[in-house]
Amino acid sequence: MVIPVVYLIVGVALLLGVLLPAFTTGRAISAPVILVAVGALVGLLPFPAGLSLDPDEHAALTEHLTEITILMALTGVGLALDRPLTRVRLTWRRWGTTWRLLFIAMPLAIVVTALLGWWLLGLIPAAAVLLASVLSPTDPVLAAEVQVEGPTTLSETDADDGEGFAEADIDEKDEVRFALTSEAGLNDGAAFPFVYASIFLLTMGSVGHWWVRWIGWEVVGKTVVGIAAGWAVGRLLSLVAFRIRESVQISRIGDPLLIVAAPLIAYGVGELVHGWGFLSVFVSAITLRSCDRSNEYHHAMHGVIERLERLFTLVVLLLLGAALTNGLLTSLTWQGAVLAILLIFVIRPATAWIALWHPRGQDFDDDSVLGPRERLVTAFFGVRGVGSIYYLAYATGHHGFPDAEGLWSIVAFTIVLSVVVHGVSASPVIGRLERHREAVLA
């Protein structure tokens, strides 16, 4: 009976994957909201005896399913970004909003959430830091409504109209979408050192016993190694796709399946050399994107990876919804619910607002500086999702954290709250912001 249930879930996911994009386009509801609701209804069906949907009981399966989902999403995000990130200093400056969200907003949110977990929920320090860490990354999987649409290629530029065109003309025009997309791509890798801080607190005790190793290796060393591995893989794949002789160039052959191999190779190499694999995947994708940026092959690759990402996301959300009505929230206390509400409505918006403040901030005056409305929208849309499930499954599956059931309840409630709040508000809020931008520029 278990195998037919699996086929049913996958089949429903595929069917919904075909129907939902057309149904939800332009409406104040997102596909993830519907998928979680459908999953919750599926969870009410009579399952075979002994079949549990509790992610804590299937930590390894949960970890690897969400892991592959994130790999696909990070690759899609890296390919979708038109703004280059190279060794040229100017390109790094133009990612300024991303760096502020990554290095200011994220650590601030972790500190505040951990303190609340310790004070409000009564968690031990290790569990409080773990909870804050798994809830810290914004999600590249569930934030499609507020992300960039995809790579711009030659066929989509003014070249078709007979006007001049150069690769330098390819760039992001919407700073809000760029900030949220690039943040989601990078902070999945950036969250891992904080998860390890919670593991060290649990297994090694006092911070004084491990802080040097943590900063030197987990924060700096693995980050550098992960970036280097991702860059090397991205450069190698760029040569295969665009630079070797024309008869064997993958971009000329037209087979976009190269992009399916890319995240697997990058993640494997990154982990084998003991770097942060998620960071390697994202860096490899933006490195690949930086080569021959106007080539239509980028668009073809993005289409393939986007469909794979959608498939895995559908399965994860259906299973999450089913788990919700099978006891996943039984350990949720009012304190845990309050923490989730504070994270979505107060902690993330406040920390991101602080991080994005700039003395020159004026609406649309400078595409690298967010105006007040853009800043508010960017601060609010910190979508939580599949990344949080992965990190919690990883930590609880490899280490015996106390009150794991309570942590799962809080994380699940936070994800559902984020899916509903951000999913319902994304289209109208982004639409209103775009209309305001057009009015200002008119």
| Position 155 confidence tier, pLDDT thresholds 50, 70, 90 | low
What distance in Å separates the CA atoms of residue 442 and residue 439, rounded to the nearest whole number? 5
Q: Provide mean pLDDT across the span 404-433.
A: 92
| Position 235 confidence tier, pLDDT thresholds 50, 70, 90 | very high
The closest of 394, 396, 378 to 386, measured between CA atoms, is 394
CB 352 within 8 A of CB 112: no
What distance in Å separates the CA atoms of residue 319 and residue 9, rounded to the nearest whole number? 8
**Contacts of 99 by beta carbon, 8 Å cutoff, 6+ apart:** none
- pLDDT given at position 162: 47
| Position 363 confidence tier, pLDDT thresholds 50, 70, 90 | very low
What distance in Å separates the CA atoms of residue 381 and residue 58, rounded to the nearest whole number? 30
Q: What is the pLDDT of residues 20-58, one digit of tens each?
A: 766 766 666 778 888 899 889 888 877 766 677 788 888
**Contacts of 246 by beta carbon, 8 Å cutoff, 6+ apart:** 252
Mean pLDDT computed over every residue of the chain:
86
Q: Provide mean pLDDT across the span 71-90.
A: 87
Only one residue has tokens 């994860």, namely 316
- Cβ of 76: how many Cβ atoms within 10 Å? 30
| Position 143 confidence tier, pLDDT thresholds 50, 70, 90 | low
On the question of pLDDT at 279 being above 90, the answer is yes
Burial (0-12, 13-18, 19+ Cβ within 10 Å), 280: buried
- pLDDT given at position 368: 60
Coil, strand or helix at 119: helix
Domains of the chain, earliest start first: 2-441 (1.20.1530.20)
Only one residue has tokens 């498939």, namely 311
- pLDDT given at position 91: 77
Q: Provide mean pLDDT across the span 332-347.
A: 97
- DSSP per-residue letters across 319-358: HHHHHIIIIITTT--HHHHHHHHHIIIIIHHHHHHHHH--
- pLDDT given at position 353: 95
CB 130 within 8 A of CB 395: yes
What distance in Å separates the CA atoms of residue 117 and residue 402, rounded to the nearest whole number? 14
What distance in Å separates the CA atoms of residue 316 and residue 294, rounded to the nearest whole number? 34
| Position 336 confidence tier, pLDDT thresholds 50, 70, 90 | very high
Contacts for 328-333 with beta carbons within 8 Å, 24 or more apart? Answer: 328/53, 328/54, 328/55, 328/408, 328/409, 328/412, 329/409, 329/412, 329/413, 330/405, 330/409, 331/403, 331/405, 331/406, 331/408, 331/409, 332/406, 332/409, 332/410, 332/412, 332/413, 333/121, 333/406
Helix residue spans in 25-158 (DSSP H): 31-43, 59-80, 89-93, 96-100, 106-119, 125-134
- Cβ of 373: how many Cβ atoms within 10 Å? 17
- Cβ of 366: how many Cβ atoms within 10 Å? 12
**Main-chain phi, psi angles of 366, to 5 degrees:** -145, 125
- pLDDT given at position 365: 45
| Position 364 confidence tier, pLDDT thresholds 50, 70, 90 | very low
